[in-house]
Amino acid sequence: MGQGALAEVGYCTLWDRQDRNESGVFRAERQTALCRRFKVAAKTCILYGMSRPSLIQRLGNRVRSTARDAVISHHKRSRAVLFSDTTLRDGEQMPGATLDPDQKLKIALALEAAGVHSLDAGFPASSEADVEAIRRMVGVVRKPVLTALCRTLSGDIDAAERALDGNPVHKRGVSLFCGTSPIHRAEKLNKSKSEILEIITDSVAYAAKSFRIIAFSPEDASRTEMNFLCECYREAIDAGATTIGFPDTVGVLTPEKSADCIKAIQDGVPNIDRALLAVHFHNDLGLAVANTLACIQQGANVVQCTVNGIGERAGNAALEEVVMALALHSDQYERTFRIDTTKLSPLCHLVAELTGVSISRMKPIGGDNIFASEAGIHQDGLLKNPDTYLPFRPEKVGADGIQLVLGRHSGRRAVSHRLEQLQISVSDGVVGQVVEQIKQRPRGTVVDDRLLTTLVNGLTDE
């Protein structure tokens, strides 16, 4: 077997090692099947008198194809949801959220620690800063697949190859996109359907010369005619795409329509068994997370999200929200995932700090209000058992802890609890008087430890 073919067998084996749930038996069976196919191919080549270079090339192509199909088949059978994060590319496109290469690397390492499957690391053809950021990740961010965004242009693909040079073949890929909807074809590209199909097949085939992992996404897929959309996917897969993406580019879909689209793609693309199906939702109607979950339930393999949901216009599906919905409703979705939920809150705050895009206090998972309460009834319940008023405990997402805010709505239990923490011993009567004084404070008054101590001292000194 030639060196290229051996390298591809190694690529398949190495890629498999990241799948923690795969059994040794399954891995052995696949390797045995690969060897069997190689022997059959070799005998065929010898029988028909093929030259050695031709034999090596054909065997290399065959092993690559077999390895690709085996990995894709395994991912589909595992029913694991693979998280592809695009915070560093789509998220950074949000006005005011620009990151420098060092900041991107810091977030990439945090995403790696959280367990994302792949990172949309940047758009190399757009700027040297993106190239530099990707170059810093190569060899440092080792677990996720690093991908680069490309238009369906050979120059973009070449730029991606240079940026990702040095990363193992099973850890680097390209994400190609091309507008396919009627408005994109007519107003932006001025191309016919047949011309669009030719662009797709030519660019995917060109990318296949340098990359083993190739994603193709029809831009504005949610407004593309379904028959033509399926034709685009079919041609892309035949040309070598290993993932096909369904982006709701302008964020117009509902969960029901999103699931219908995925079902139509599953039924309408005859070679879909040879590619993973990914989804990417924008949040213009506030439905990006709901749409993503609907597609997961319908069988999507890959979901692309951003931390804190940052991104163009109203943003993208928030990674942390999708993860926790899956974690809390495993009985409904019956899908596994490999994200460490205890990394989510720190990740949210890291991205907010580095991008300068603050998190709303009411933002799920990462917002300051999530584990804070001022209501007396809720505070009493939380002190007795946190699960009385929380969907999950702070430690589940790596948050600091429950915060009992003292204010007009607080009761005796919360005030007494805080005084005990401060090692201030007072009678129940004094606690009651403190509660009454807090309720009489002007609206918006922050009752911190200093003010609380002052109130107690004023009562006990009398």
Q: What is the pLDDT of residue 34?
A: 52
Q: What is the pLDDT of residue 64?
A: 72
pLDDT at 37: 52
What's the confidence (pLDDT) of residue 23? 43
Contact 261, 227 (CB under 8 A): no
The answer to whether 246 and 224 are in contact (CB under 8 A) is no
For residue 232, CA distances in Å to 65, 68, 167, 221, 275 come to: 20, 20, 29, 10, 13
pLDDT of amino acid 51: 55
Q: What confidence score (pLDDT) does residue 33 get?
A: 52
Write out residues in the chain with pLDDT < 50, as ranges.
1-28, 32, 40, 44-46, 48
pLDDT on residue 459: 78
Q: In this predicted model, what pLDDT tens digit does every residue of 180-217 receive, in sequence order?
A: 999 999 999 999 999 999 999 999 999 999 999 999 99
This prediction has a pTM of 0.86
What is the phi/psi pair of residue 372, to 5°? -115, 145
Kindly report the CA angle at 58 between 47 and 61, in degrees rounded to 5?
145
**How far is the C-alpha of 308 from the C-alpha of 455, rounded, in Å?**
39
Evaluate whether 400 touches 394 at the Cβ level (below 8 Å): yes
